[in-house]
C-alpha cells in the first residue's frame, strides 16, 4: 500500500484545492492531509477559518482518507507518525522540495517528494485562490 501526504492551509476550499488533493490521491492508495495550524502560517495572511473547521472540511472530501492538524512546533512530527511513501506539494506552494528532501533524510524518513500538477480555470471568473476569493468578497460586499 502506498501512503501519500498532502499538506496546506486549506482556508476557504476551492476547485484548486480539490484538484491538488485529487492529484495527490491518485499517486497512492491512502491520502493523509496535514492542515497547517493558524499560528504556523507565516508565509501569507493567517487563515480566516479556525484550524478545526479547515480540518473538518478537508476530511469531508471523498479523496481524503484522513485529515490531521499539523504539529504546533515541528512540521515533521505528523510525517514521522504517518510514515508516507510520497509527499505531494501543491504546484504553487512556497516549499523548497530539495530542502524538504534533505530534512526528511536527516530524520531517517524515506519518501519521495513530488509536485502536484497545476489547474487552470475552466471558465472566465473561476477562482482558484483563497486570496482572490477574499478579494472578490470584499469588492462585491463591502464596496
Indicate which CATH number applies to the domain containing 100: 3.40.50.620
78 is in an annotated binding site: no
Phi and psi, residue 125, nearest 5°: 95, -10
pLDDT of 143: 63
Mean pLDDT of the chain: 94
Radius of gyration for the chain, computed over Cα atoms and rounded to the nearest angstrom: 15
Angle formed at CA 120 by CA 118 and CA 122, multiple of 5 degrees: 145
pTM score, two decimals? 0.92
33 is in which domain, residue-wise?
Answer: 3-142
Report the C-alpha gap between 5 and 48 in whole angstroms: 23
10 is in an annotated binding site: yes
| Domains: count for the chain | 1
User: Which of helix, strand or coil describes residue 110?
Assistant: coil
pLDDT of 66: 98
Report the C-alpha gap between 55 and 120 in whole angstroms: 25
16 is in an annotated binding site: yes
15 is in an annotated binding site: yes
11 is in an annotated binding site: no
pLDDT tens-digit series, residues 42-100: 888 899 999 999 999 999 999 999 999 999 999 899 999 999 999 999 998 888 899 99
Q: What percent of the chain has pLDDT over 90?
A: 83
Amino acid at each position: 500500500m502506498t501512503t501519500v501526504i498532502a499538506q496546506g492551509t486549506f482556508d476557504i476550499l476551492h476547485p484548486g484545492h480539490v484538484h491538488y488533493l485529487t492529484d495527490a490521491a491518485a499517486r497512492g492508495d491512502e491520502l493523509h492531509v496535514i492542515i497547517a495550524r493558524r499560528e504556523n502560517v507565516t508565509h501569507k495572511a493567517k487563515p480566516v477559518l479556525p484550524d478545526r473547521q479547515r480540518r473538518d472540511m478537508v476530511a469531508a472530501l471523498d479523496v481524503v482518507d484522513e485529515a490531521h492538524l499539523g504539529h504546533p512546533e515541528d512540521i515533521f512530527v505528523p510525517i514521522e507518525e504517518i510514515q508516507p511513501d510520497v509527499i505531494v506539494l501543491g504546484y504553487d506552494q512556497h516549499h523548497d522540495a530539495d530542502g524538504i528532501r534533505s530534512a526528511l533524510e536527516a530524520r531517517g524518513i524515506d519518501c519521495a517528494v513530488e509536485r502536484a500538477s497545476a489547474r487552470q480555470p475552466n471558465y472566465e471568473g473561476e477562482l482558484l485562490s483563497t486570496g482572490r476569493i477574499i478579494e472578490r468578497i470584499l469588492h462585491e460586499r463591502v464596496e
